[in-house]
Structure 1
Amino acid sequence: MNNESRQMPDRPVVDTRPTAVSVAEQFQNQTLRPVLKLLDAGLMTYWLHHLPKRKTPFERFTKPEKLAHIERAIRDDTKLRLTLVGMVLGQFTPEEWAIFTANESELTRRLLTLLIQRLQSHIDT
């Protein structure tokens, strides 16, 4: 396999308000949102792969139960949370990694919120 066939696609552009005031907000809008958009299908695929392993009757849940389960699973299941976060962190450039580590607590909190919202956005019934 040559190097050209293994290159990642360009990150999508996410339209955000240009009034971001903090480093964390700028990083969220310029890095986290585009990476999550890029990884959307992969994140959802991993989520669906995760459900049978936990013997979760997800398809029988009502929409509010599904939304609550996604949030609870990401917050409480360490392996799931670390895998999803790792998928995102693996997309960072060295410069982005430096910003992330300098603001790790705040950016991790924001990342988890965005991950939950991203997976919940796929729930329609």
Structure 2
Amino acid sequence: MTERTTPSRPTIDTEPGAVSTAEQFQNQTLRPILKMLDNSLLTCWSHHWPKRKIRFDRLSKPDKLAQLERAVREDTKLRLTLVGMVLGHFTPEEWSTFMAEEPEITRRMLALLIQRLQSHVHE
């Protein structure tokens, strides 16, 4: 088996002292991957809401933020697509860590995905 190289991920400055494995994984793996995928995640969301007949462009900013969070948490197809985009960038070692801490890392990943998408919402 040949060794797979990881594409160059952006570096993220985080506070030292992450205590849990999930927190370390969040800071060392999830945040850089999400930053790298920012445009792709936003494109995925932009193609999602018209298909669902959501009048997203007509909503107020607070309603947009709430709708985005609700869609990511409740729309299985969207959630699995976004999560799959992130998981596809894991190295074999990262997969091992993910599998050992899957519920907590998945919870953190969804929260970060929502935050990243919400950061692009404007009036």
Query: TM range, normalised to the smaller chain?
Result: over 0.9
The Cα shift of 1:89 comes to: 0.2
Could you tell me which of 12, 16, 19 is aligned with 2:17? Answer: 19
Partner residue of 1:75? 73
> Which letter maps to 2:18?
A
Distance in 1 of aligned mates of 2:98 and 2:73: 20
Partner residue of 2:59? 61
Structure 1 spans left out of the alignment, 5+ residues = 1-6
Distance in 2 of aligned mates of 1:85 and 1:112: 8
**Residue deviations 1:69-117, cap 9 Å, x none?**
0100001000000000000000000000100010000000000000000
Equivalences for 1:1-125 in 2 at 5 Å?
9-125=7-123
**Residue deviations 1:10-67, cap 9 Å, x none?**
1000110111011000000000000000000000000001111101100000000000
Relative to the length of structure 1, the TM-score reads: 0.92
Distance in 2 of aligned mates of 1:109 and 1:97: 16
Distance in 1 of aligned mates of 2:102 and 2:44: 24
Distance in 2 of aligned mates of 1:76 and 1:124: 22
Equivalent pairs counted in the alignment come to 119
Identical-residue share of aligned pairs (%): 68
Relative to the length of structure 2, the TM-score reads: 0.94
Structure 1 stretches of 4+ moved >4 Å = none
**Bigger CA drift: 8-17 or 80-89?**
8-17
Structure 2 spans left out of the alignment, 5+ residues = none
Distance in 1 of aligned mates of 2:45 and 2:118: 11
